[in-house]
Amino acid sequence: ARGEKIWRAFERIMTHADRRRRLRVRANADTPEQARNARARGAEGIGLARTEHMFLGEERVAAVRRMIFAESPEEERAAYDELRPLQTEDFVGIFREMDGLPVTIRLLDPPLHEFLPNLEELAVAVATAEARGERDVVVRGERMPLEEARRTLAKVRELHEANPMLGLRGVRLGIVKPGLYAMQVGAIVEAACRVKAEGVDPKVEIMIPLVATRAELEQMRAELEPVAREVLERTGQTLEHLEWGTMIEVPRAALTAGEIAEVADFFSFGTNDLTQMGFGFSRDDIGRFVGLYEERRLVPANPFVTIDRAGIGRLMRMAAEEGRAANPRLHLGICGEHGGDPASVVFCHEIGLDYVSCSPFRVETARLAAGQAAVGQAEVASK
């Protein structure tokens, strides 16, 4: 009985927060199961579906590697043809779960070497097999013939980057390998058309990552929109909600947001990378010293947990204002983990974002924080 009372009280609080808040709350979800969980928790769409997670699994990784190793356009196209139906099925499931709600899908972001074995481990395994006269190589449980391992090692060395975070990833990958993004867009639109024929209402938002210049986004749209049109014409379907946008995660993109907004339908702030590049901090290594920084008040809080208002927040505010000035119909969101941090949600409300997106398990926290932000703003205005 006590648990039931607590649950009813919780529901009353959440209902009140939902009535008061202006900010919409979406979730980051990569699978139909995650999307279903997010919707059950009150998410009003998906703010980030990461397509790289859809390439995991033995069958898919093998197809990605065939694309990486392709020595001719024909071989590369064959790999895309193998991947496209798999991607289509992924999106079909997500669109069904999010019927009537927006789904923002980020095209492939990480560098290609992430789909290959680790350089050092593979080199050691190949050297060991050669020294022992073995015919197979095993790396992290994956067995491959020695000759294949040698070819893989050569490709891994070729793709190796000193700083992969700033290397061939995101939109740069789409420019260098245009067939990759074309395959993904074709799969997305194909899936949307299929579920629409079933009576589902797909709301599709295609997000191009790591854009730093207007020209990058402009070129990508020029290449990818015809792919979407071809699918629509072939299926005889129309999509009332098909938008194109980018993540604002590179400081230059925030500083030139007015230019980029002219060729975008939406911005989504990727605050994880924006914080890394803005501070010059590595998110993976900051744990070694951030506690000391907070203790000595060198930073007000861990900037990967709570948005740094003075620096990263200023970039966001500038991008929001200049983006909307250039394109009044531009809609704005955030998809970094800051989207579930209460203090960061309040800041997003203050600078006029339309939505925040966070992990499914933080959706209720974000809904409550958005309601508190609206109430706080109303109280200040009434004084």
Does some domain include residue 352? yes
| Number of domains, the chain | 1
Name the residue among 45, 66, 47 with its Cα closest to residue 55.
66
Check if the beta carbon of residue 369 is closer than 8 Å to that of residue 15: no
Helix boundaries (H) for the chain: 2-20, 32-40, 58-69, 73-97, 119-132, 146-159, 171-176, 178-197, 214-235, 251-255, 257-261, 271-279, 290-295, 312-326, 342-350, 363-382
Q: Which pTM value belongs to this model?
A: 0.91
pLDDT value, residue 33: 96
Which tokens sit at 183? 């395959």
Q: What is the dihedral of CA 248, 252, 255, 261, to 10 degrees?
A: -50
Does some domain include residue 148? no
Does some domain include residue 12? no
CATH number at residue 313: 3.20.20.60
**Would you mind telling me the total number of residues written for the chain in this entry?**
383
pLDDT value, residue 381: 59
Mean pLDDT, all residues of the chain: 93
Does some domain include residue 99? yes
pLDDT value, residue 362: 95
Query: For residues 82 and 195, what is the distance between their CA atoms, to the nearest angstrom?
Result: 21
pLDDT value, residue 152: 85
pLDDT value, residue 2: 62
Helix (H, G, I), strand (E, B) or coil at 29: coil
CB neighbour list of residue 287: distance below 8 Å, 6 or more residues apart: none
Count of CB atoms situated within 10 Å of the CB of 374: 18
Does some domain include residue 15? no
Does some domain include residue 242? yes
Q: Show the domain range for 83.
A: 21-111+161-382
Does some domain include residue 197? yes
Q: Which residues of the chain have pLDDT under 50?
A: none
Check if the beta carbon of residue 209 is closer than 8 Å to that of residue 170: yes
Name the residue among 202, 220, 223, 201 with its Cα closest to residue 211.
220
Does some domain include residue 138? no
